[in-house]
Amino acid sequence: RAHMSDLVKKLVAGETWGAQPQQSEDPDDEDEDEQQILGSSGELFLYIKRSLLQCSAVETGETMANLSKAFDETLVKYAEALHKYVAELARRGKPLTSKEEQSIAVVLNTCEYCSDTSEQLEGSVRKSLDESYQATVSYAGVREQYDDALNTSMSALVASLLNKMDTALAPLQRTRWAELESVGDQSGYVDGVHAVLKEAVPSLRKILSTGYFSVLCDKCATGFFQRYQSTILKLKRVSDSGVQQLLLDTHAVKTVLMGFPTIGMTKVEMETAKKPASFLKLVTSESGKLEALLKVLLSPPEQVEHNYSALIKGGSKEQLQRILEMKGLRTAAPQVFDVTEATRAAGQAWGQNVRERLAGMDQANLKSNFESMTQSFSGKVVGQ
């Protein structure tokens, strides 16, 4: 056991934290989409496999059972080393570099590989043992350790991308939205968000498996719109033109996020790539929540409270109060959340109509038609 513990320390100390293709045991397997893992993980399992074969050739009783426990302890130590590497990068308090993000993605792959391989190892060890010892073999705890390290890796990747997108949103907070008198092209922060994704996503897509890349897309999209909405709700005052500009920006951001899965692909790759329908639905849903809030913010003063109740599902008095403050209005009336289904349906129908019209416009048409759409809402009493 001491030798195996020293082996883990040696492998981790010599690890470059870069990717190595997972080697298939089938010589006829020419799969080009080999999982990229840490070289140390392959070396560790190769050593374990050789030890298993050597021991089982001469002993299948107590000595083999003890070796199985040594495998368990060794794999746990390796999982702890992977977790430590990612955790130390994540808590440094400064943005991760692209190379560090890629290393974490490789660690995530390695955790998946180790979890799957440890399950196969468990079966092989049991077959090598006398029947009386087989029930003592379980690597469930090992797999839990790797699953934990995998989740930490995913969280670190999501946090890194969201923090960089937060930085891209900084100009939004500095803009004097209360003084904006007309709607222009999309704001510069939209391009900033796009630049963050364009730099980070292509390399992560190449490293991660399709399943975990989809998880990354979903978590980043959900987290971004939550932060985007929070940033907007922290603005002190916003003019009607400012709200219209934010609505236009939100539509542009939605377009950027919808391109998350395929950003940076070549034209040839785009021809065969498909964006998951579930992801597009998620982005539409998350952006729709923000669009609804902005439409409420665009309402005439006397209609804000009714429109909030009609358009916002699961709203709160605190959020409504923030919207009123952004318009320079007083405290909301207590009865604001007492709204009929007809009122809610009318507001939602108008919102759906705007979304459909926005979806069919390019940037030029969007800008030229935006005022007519928003004015049709600002002059309407919801439910009447």
| Residue 188 pLDDT level (bands cut at 50, 70, 90) | very high
| Residue 256 pLDDT level (bands cut at 50, 70, 90) | very high
Q: Check whether 305 has a pLDDT greater than 60.
A: yes
| Residue 334 pLDDT level (bands cut at 50, 70, 90) | low
- d(C-alpha 194, C-alpha 264), whole Å: 11
Total Cβ atoms within 10 A of residue 336: 17
Residue 344: its pLDDT value, please?
53
- d(C-alpha 350, C-alpha 354), whole Å: 6
Residue 21: its pLDDT value, please?
65
**Residues 50-67: pLDDT tens digits?**
999 999 888 889 999 999
Mean pLDDT of the chain: 87
- d(C-alpha 384, C-alpha 79), whole Å: 62
Q: What is the DSSP string of 235-279?
A: -S---HHHHHHHHHHHHHHHHHHHTGGGTT--HHHHHH----HHH
What would the mean pLDDT of 282-301 be, rounded to a whole number? 96
Residue 237: its pLDDT value, please?
94
| Residue 5 pLDDT level (bands cut at 50, 70, 90) | confident
Residue 367: its pLDDT value, please?
55
Residue 352: its pLDDT value, please?
60
| Residue 384 pLDDT level (bands cut at 50, 70, 90) | very low
**Global pTM exceeds 0.85:** no
Residue 340: its pLDDT value, please?
45
Place of tokens 């997108």: 165
Q: Check whether 260 has a pLDDT greater than 50.
A: yes
- d(C-alpha 228, C-alpha 71), whole Å: 47
Q: What is the DSSP string of 83-102?
A: HHHHHHHHTSSSPPPHHHHH
What would the mean pLDDT of 96-124 be, rounded to a whole number? 96
Place of tokens 């092209």: 185
